[in-house]
Amino acid sequence: MAVNIANDSPKYRNSLICCSPSVEATSRTSTSSTSGGVSVDEGYDSNCIPKSVANKKLKIHSSATKEEIEKAIQQCKELVLNSEQCSDERKWFVRYLVELRLRLEDLKENNGKARDRVSIKGHHFEQQTNPSNRKQYCDHCSGVIWSIVQGSYICNDCGYLCHYKCVDHICRVCAHVVMTEKGSFEMSICPEKGLAAQDYKCAECQTALTFKDSWNEPRLCDYTGLYFCATCHWNDLMATPARVIHNWDWEKRYVSRLAFQMLNLSWARPYIDIETINPRLFNFIAELEWVHRMRKDLEWMRRYLCACVDGTALLSPLFVQFGDVNKKYSMSHLQAIQDGTLERQLMELTETCRSHITSCDRCSGKGYLCEICKNNEVLYPFDSGALMCDKCNSMYHRRCWLRKGEKCLKCVRLEERKKTVDDVQVETVALEYDIDKFVN
């Protein structure tokens, strides 16, 4: 039975360990060596916890008293004031100060009883009272969580799961905190630096990595480019944003648990600016180019609908997402473009909005008339057969614009008027000069 549990554990999934009696002893050794030997202040890569902070002994155990926590809060306040403004050290101290204050409040509320809520490393844990029926694994030690006999916590922000006994020893910063502070995806395709740059240690728990032992083989994360141990890397499969944006490659690759949680958490967040990162992608993906053009039409429709009382009811969540002026995409949007579902939804949305604008008296009254052909057809900026001047925002039929040699009549009139005003000013200056000469 122990062998089956070991082979079913995410720690050994897709690894080199075979189903043999020796696996049981090996799995015990690996679990105990990677889960209990790492303190809270050690571990995780230097991008989230500065090395200068790791040297300071600020660890507070779950058995700490009220006086010890208050003393740690005071010490953390002094470190915040002494640290450089907007530095990584100050950000970490502020976050840790919030955790200490939350822990102090929990201690006051619980009066020494079992903690229902725990705040540590940016996580906001709550004790699981009704765990799901599916088998759950601890994100810290990768062991099975037996819900009948073991207590467990789950983070409300990133979904981090851990045993009750492991909550004070976790070394992974909350994925929600990491993505909120960064505010963007990693746009380099697997930025691998090598094991030597990591000192041959796991990027998260600092466990020594070696190719000699199959149970402790280093595993590469395709998103971060860092190497992790089997406890921190469960061979989860995800499509990475960098490969999608640069190559439109949706093949799923192995990522670490931290990257898996960050991608799942930010999958629907509009972080990707394709026009800045890879504008040539529009030339190769016809569906993406069509959606991008529809976004420009929705931006013009938004101006009409926001000024109309009846039109505000058409501002659905999809319209708000794509009618925004920042023109950024989320991974869920790009996946919907790949599946073809977004194209159908946008087509129905644009037709509904177009029907309202053309039939509403208030919206249609803000249309344009072509100055060249001067017919009664009302033009709108989102019409495919209409063209708007970039300088004066005048609207023309596309065929009329081409027939006039791509010249805007309003701009021509403004240039002639400006030239006439300049000539009058020159004549006035010359006249004043002549009068002054005769007066002298």
Give the closest residue to 380 by CA, choosing from 413, 355, 403.
355
- Assign residue 121 a region (left: φ > 0; alpha: ψ between -120 and 50; beta: otherwise): left
- Assign residue 155 a region (left: φ > 0; alpha: ψ between -120 and 50; beta: otherwise): beta
Instruction: Give pLDDT tens digits for 235-273.
Output: 999 999 999 999 999 999 999 999 999 999 999 998 999
Determine, yes or no, domain membership for 245: no
- Which of the listed ranges 200-209, 236-245, 370-379 does the model predict with the highest average pLDDT? 236-245
Tell me which of 21-35, 259-273, 360-374, 406-420 is least confident.
21-35
Residue 227 pLDDT: 93
Judge if 172 and 49 occupy the same domain.
yes
Determine, yes or no, domain membership for 242: no
d(CA 140, CA 216): 15
Does the structure show a pLDDT above 60 at 216?
yes
Judge if 54 and 178 occupy the same domain.
yes
How many residues does the structure list for the chain? 440
Q: Domain ends where: 307, 333, 364?
A: 364
Residue 248 pLDDT: 94
d(CA 21, CA 19): 7
Q: Confidence class of residue 114 from pLDDT cuts 50, 70 and 90?
A: low
Q: Domain ends where: 318, 341, 364?
A: 364
Determine, yes or no, domain membership for 270: no
Does the structure show a pLDDT above 60 at 54?
no
Q: What's this model's pTM, rounded to 2 decimal places?
A: 0.67
Give the CATH number, domain containing residue 146: 3.30.60.20
Is the Cβ–Cβ distance between 232 and 197 less than 8 Å?
no
Is the Cβ–Cβ distance between 267 and 330 less than 8 Å?
yes
Q: Higher confidence at residue 50 or residue 94?
A: 94
Query: Over the chain, what is the mean pLDDT?
Result: 77
Q: Domain ends where: 346, 364, 382?
A: 364
Domain count, the chain: 4
Judge if 330 and 424 occupy the same domain.
no
Q: Higher confidence at residue 12 or residue 220?
A: 220
Tell me which of 42-46, 167-171, 322-326, 395-399 is least confident.
42-46
Determine, yes or no, domain membership for 108: yes
Residue 315 DSSP one-character state: -
Is the Cβ–Cβ distance between 125 and 138 less than 8 Å?
no
Judge if 309 and 222 occupy the same domain.
no
Judge if 90 and 78 occupy the same domain.
yes
Please give the span between the terminal C-alpha atoms of the chain, in angstroms, as a whole number: 116
Does the structure show a pLDDT above 50 at 376?
yes
How big is the CA angle at 185 (ends 180 and 123), to the nearest 5 degrees?
A: 35
Instruction: Give pLDDT tens digits for 135-180.
Output: 888 998 888 887 756 778 899 989 899 988 888 888 898 999 899 8
Determine, yes or no, domain membership for 170: yes
Judge if 47 and 21 occupy the same domain.
no
Determine, yes or no, domain membership for 248: no
Judge if 347 and 433 occupy the same domain.
no
Residue 400 structural domain: 368-440
Determine, yes or no, domain membership for 188: no
Instruction: Give pLDDT tens digits for 310-360.
Output: 878 788 777 777 766 568 899 999 999 998 888 888 888 888 888 888 888
Judge if 131 and 153 occupy the same domain.
yes
Residue 354 pLDDT: 87
Is the Cβ–Cβ distance between 108 and 66 less than 8 Å?
yes
Judge if 398 and 328 occupy the same domain.
no
Judge if 328 and 387 occupy the same domain.
no
Neighbour-count burial for 277-314, b at 16+ CB within 10 Å, e otherwise:
ebeebbeebeebebbbebbebbbbbbebbeebeebeeb
Dihedral angle of Cα 313, 318, 322, 326, to the nearest 10 degrees: 90
Strand partners, 152: 163
User: What integer is the mean pLDDT of 40-50?
Assistant: 40
- Which of the listed ranges 75-84, 212-221, 260-269 does the model predict with the highest average pLDDT? 260-269
CA 361 to chain centre: 41
CA distances from 236 to 156, 158, 262, 269, 289 (A): 21, 16, 12, 21, 31
Does the structure show a pLDDT above 70 at 107?
no
Judge if 233 and 260 occupy the same domain.
yes
Residues in contact with 372: Cβ distance below 8 Å, sequence separation at least 6, in sequence order = 396, 397, 400, 401, 403, 404, 409
Judge if 177 and 43 occupy the same domain.
yes
Q: Confidence class of residue 1 from pLDDT cuts 50, 70 and 90?
A: very low
Determine, yes or no, domain membership for 398: yes
d(CA 320, CA 317): 5
Does the structure show a pLDDT above 80 at 181?
yes
